[in-house]
């Protein structure tokens, strides 16, 4: 006989895209391995009484939720950065430090030498993790300038909108363009873009802005549209459901948190910038990146730039740190990664749409440059 239907409460607010994606991940697992009866709610009283659930996946966003969860005696999984009050409840969450590292590498690859991190509430665990990963990565790059802004600490007279904009603007005025900025959240990124516009700072030419989360609605309506590190919300929900399922079957409670790496950077207009002083190198880079889905050779690049191959190679080495061919491969691989993570296309189609002559050649270059096969990368990024 199959398993009886399990009733699972999802105790969290679902007004944000990230939260809804986590619920979708939970629902995908339940549909695959159920039957489960899912009950998304913000009411902790659903965990009590005769109709108590078989398990709960929760985010401790409210004090009442925290109090209820501490006294609970049923399988539970925490999908929030705050685990201090729940030492015995397993946690599944994304890697905030890796989010900061990914953003820093992206900006470093864009040629930036000056960086800044903008936190709305620096003391929050998610913000501290992203800041630490970002700061350590840019500092390890050697000689990089770094600045930090904590909005909550700066706004001692209150976080009313005019006060927020004033302090953001004052901080931005002290930064030397061009500068690459990571904000701890998408909302912080939107606020920063408005402050840039009010101070007459061009985005991305003066301030290149990147946020963390990738709430698609918020990022798309921002002016200009906001680039963001996409956090693995769907995967977090899916893995949390898997952990809860094992616990409901009587398996031991995990002793260590399950931390999931960020997915990718979704590029929009706010980061469409190369902070390189050499205009001809920038022209060549844009030519390569604009044709990531096409077959491009070094000869094609040279036909677009009035320099000899030796001259352009030397300038690439000095400004980018890679050869022209390496940069072409890098653009093709970035395109292939997008398709591997976001589509179900077969390898032959992905190779064609990523500028490779065939799947075999794509696999050879992908494996050499990333130290893993395309199929392995897809498996890491996708939920079955």
Please indicate, yes or no, whether residues 100 and 191 belong to a single structural domain of this protein: yes
Q: Are 57 and 35 in contact (CB under 8 A)?
A: no
Rounded to two decimals, what is the model's pTM?
A: 0.81
Tens-place pLDDT, residues 35-62: 999 999 988 878 877 778 999 999 876 5
Tens-place pLDDT, residues 244-275: 999 999 999 998 999 999 988 998 989 987 76
Confidence of residue 1 (pLDDT cuts 50, 70, 90): very low
Q: What is the DSSP letter of 60?
A: -
The pLDDT of 14-31, averaged and rounded, is 93
Domain membership flag for residue 326: yes
Domain membership flag for residue 35: yes
CA-wise closest residue to 226 among 199, 208, 243? 208
Give how many domains the chain has, as a whole number: 3
Highest-scoring range by mean pLDDT, 63-77, 139-153, 164-178: 164-178
Residue 210, strand partner residues: 182, 227
Quote the CA–CA distance of 234 and 18 in Å, as a whole number.
8
CA-wise closest residue to 22 among 228, 240, 270? 240
In the chain, beta strands by DSSP E: 6-11, 36-41, 55-58, 76-78, 92-94, 114-119, 145-150, 179-183, 207-213, 227-230, 258-260, 264-266
Quote the CA–CA distance of 333 and 356 in Å, as a whole number.
9
Q: Which of 21-25, 26-30, 39-43, 142-146 has the lowest mean pLDDT?
A: 142-146
Please indicate, yes or no, whether residues 256 and 345 belong to a single structural domain of this protein: no
Please indicate, yes or no, whether residues 105 and 224 belong to a single structural domain of this protein: yes
Please indicate, yes or no, whether residues 297 and 195 belong to a single structural domain of this protein: no
Domain membership flag for residue 1: no
Q: For all residues of the chain together, what is the average pLDDT? A: 88
Q: For the chain, what percent of residues have pLDDT higher than 70?
A: 93
The pLDDT of 4-17, averaged and rounded, is 90
Tens-place pLDDT, residues 344-367: 899 999 999 999 999 999 999 999
All residues at 6 or more sequence positions from 209 whose CB lies less than 8 Å from its CB, including other chains: 181, 183, 189, 192, 193, 196, 203, 226, 227, 270, 271
Range of the structural domain that residue 29 is part of = 6-94+233-262
Domain membership flag for residue 246: yes
Please indicate, yes or no, whether residues 217 and 243 belong to a single structural domain of this protein: no
Please indicate, yes or no, whether residues 105 and 120 belong to a single structural domain of this protein: yes
Q: What is the DSSP letter of 253?
A: P
Please indicate, yes or no, whether residues 135 and 212 belong to a single structural domain of this protein: yes
Tens-place pLDDT, residues 151-164: 777 665 555 657 78
Quote the CA–CA distance of 148 and 166 in Å, as a whole number.
16
Please indicate, yes or no, whether residues 119 and 73 belong to a single structural domain of this protein: no
Give me the CATH number covering residue 116: 3.40.50.2300
Q: Are 57 and 10 in contact (CB under 8 A)?
A: yes
Domain membership flag for residue 76: yes
Tens-place pLDDT, residues 295-326: 999 999 999 999 999 999 999 988 888 899 99
Confidence of residue 150 (pLDDT cuts 50, 70, 90): confident
* Conformation bin of residue 200: beta by default, left when phi > 0, alpha when psi is -120 to 50: left
Domain membership flag for residue 128: yes
Domain membership flag for residue 285: yes
The pLDDT of 187-194, averaged and rounded, is 95
Give me the CATH number covering residue 352: 1.10.10.60
Please indicate, yes or no, whether residues 323 and 309 belong to a single structural domain of this protein: yes
Tens-place pLDDT, residues 123-135: 888 999 999 999 9
The pLDDT of residue 133: 96
180: pLDDT strictly greater than 90: yes
Domain membership flag for residue 79: yes
Please indicate, yes or no, whether residues 119 and 145 belong to a single structural domain of this protein: yes
Q: What are phi and psi of 196, to 5 degrees?
A: -60, -45
Please indicate, yes or no, whether residues 81 and 106 belong to a single structural domain of this protein: no
Please indicate, yes or no, whether residues 239 and 90 belong to a single structural domain of this protein: yes
CA-wise closest residue to 57 among 87, 89, 28? 89
Residue ending a domain, choose from 217, 249, 271: 271
Quote the CA–CA distance of 190 and 120 in Å, as a whole number.
12
Q: Are 260 and 239 in contact (CB under 8 A)?
A: yes
Quote the CA–CA distance of 338 and 163 in Å, as a whole number.
40
Quote the CA–CA distance of 203 and 103 in Å, as a whole number.
17
């Amino acid at each position: 006989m199959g398993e009886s239907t399990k009733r699972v409460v999802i105790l969290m607010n679902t007004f944000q895209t990230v939260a809804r994606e986590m619920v979708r991940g939970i629902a995908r697992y339940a549909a695959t391995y159920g039957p489960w009866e899912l009950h998304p709610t913000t009411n902790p009283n659903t965990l009590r009484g005769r109709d108590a659930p078989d398990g709960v996946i929760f985010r401790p966003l409210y004090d009442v939720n925290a109090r209820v969860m501490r006294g609970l005696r049923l399988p539970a999984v925490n999908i929030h950065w705050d685990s201090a009050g729940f030492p015995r409840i397993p946690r599944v969450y994304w890697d905030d430090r890796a989010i900061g590292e990914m953003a820093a590498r992206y900006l470093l690859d864009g040629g930036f030498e000056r960086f800044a991190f903008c936190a709305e509430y620096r003391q929050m665990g998610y913000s501290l993790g992203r800041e630490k990963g970002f700061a350590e990565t840019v500092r390890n790059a050697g000689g990089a300038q770094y600045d930090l802004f904590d909005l909550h600490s700066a706004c001692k007279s209150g976080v009313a909108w005019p006060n927020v904009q004033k302090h953001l603007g004052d901080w931005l005025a002290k930064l030397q363009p061009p500068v690459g900025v990571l904000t701890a959240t998408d909302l912080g990124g939107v606020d920063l873009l408005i402050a840039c516009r009010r101070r007459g700072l061009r985005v991305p030419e003066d301030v290149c802005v990147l946020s963390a989360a990738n709430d698609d609605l918020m990022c798309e309506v921002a002016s200009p549209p906001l680039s963001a590190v996409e956090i693995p919300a769907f995967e977090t929900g899916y893995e949390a459901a898997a952990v809860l399922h094992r616990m409901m079957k009587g398996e031991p409670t995990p002793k260590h948190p399950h931390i999931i790496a960020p997915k990718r950077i979704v590029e929009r207009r706010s980061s469409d910038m190369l902070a390189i002083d050499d205009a001809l190198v920038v022209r060549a880079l844009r030519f390569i990146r604009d044709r990531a889905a096409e077959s491009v050779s070094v000869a094609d690049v040279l036909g677009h730039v009035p320099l000899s191959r030796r001259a352009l190679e030397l300038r690439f080495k000095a400004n980018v740190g890679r050869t022209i061919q390496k940069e072409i491969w890098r653009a093709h691989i970035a395109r292939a990664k997008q398709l591997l993570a976001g589509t179900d296309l077969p390898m032959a189609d992905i190779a064609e749409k990523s500028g490779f002559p065939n799947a075999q050649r794509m696999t050879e270059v992908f494996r050499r440059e990333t130290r893993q096969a395309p199929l392995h990368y897809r498996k890491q990024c996708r939920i079955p």
